[in-house]
Structure 1
């Protein structure tokens, strides 16, 4: 993933969350995350990528739109939410994950078993540290990027 603050490389966990990995990887291959952004950065907690359908500045083609609108069943595991983990975003419904995901910026055991872990940052921790320095504002319970 290329950002304005540096590159981030991921490794996926296909044996931990195969459906989630397939879905995210397909969106990556289709260019779904191109021109997307981080909408939430909560220092020591998460840097969250916007969902593809609403976060892109470029228009989507039909194949990107179809994949972006899919939801994935919650694939919860015993893997722990620690710095660098990729964790699927979702709503209250545990099976509502679509394309928004977080990169953990610290240990978050309260997420364990409740959010699907599908990978880990393998290069770019320095970029995560730069993201943590971005100016933010409080919006309800969330810390949002300006």
Structure 2
């Protein structure tokens, strides 16, 4: 019985993936959520491990190490982005050696067909497409000019009203 259910689940996942590709639907979020606590309230993030697996793993490791604790938004452009500061160099309190080691690692650019729209999480980087490390942006509006150029790895699942306050 379990095998049959598992087989059905696999076929269902394949069908869902195929429908998503054909119709251009948003990819499925993984189960893990991360909550950023801000002075305006909490913002919950969901992640796209099937879209940017290396980026998601990197962000999870930084979160587990406490790398984003005492961090801040160093840039907020109304209707565009709220950008989280680089963990290694711009955090409010010093990082320990393990946090620094992980924060300076770069992640290969995992570009996708997912669109840069309000609530999307998108990695910051330099000119090199494989230079993303720990800074990322929360989109505060649609930004089609970023599509295919920056790695999208998740989206806001709760707390959109906090983004409005942040703006």
Map of 1:91 onto structure 2: 126
Map of 1:47 onto structure 2: 82
The Cα shift of 1:131 comes to 0.8
2:144 is the counterpart of 1:109 = yes
Aligned pairs for 1:1-146 (under 5 A) are: 1-132=36-167
Gap runs ≥5 in structure 2: 1-35
The Cα shift of 1:57 comes to 1.5
The Cα shift of 1:83 comes to 0.3
Which structure has the larger Rg over C-alpha atoms?
A: 2
User: Is the helix fraction higher in 1 or 2?
Assistant: 2
The Cα shift of 1:55 comes to 2.0
Gap runs ≥5 in structure 1: 133-146
User: Is the strand fraction higher in 1 or 2?
Assistant: 1
Which structure has more RCO (C-alpha within 8 Å, separation ≥ 6)?
Answer: 1
Q: CA RMSD in A?
A: 0.6
**Aligned residue pairs: how many?**
132
The Cα shift of 1:29 comes to 0.8
Q: Which aligned segments of 4 or more residues in structure 1 are displaced greater than 2 angstroms?
A: none
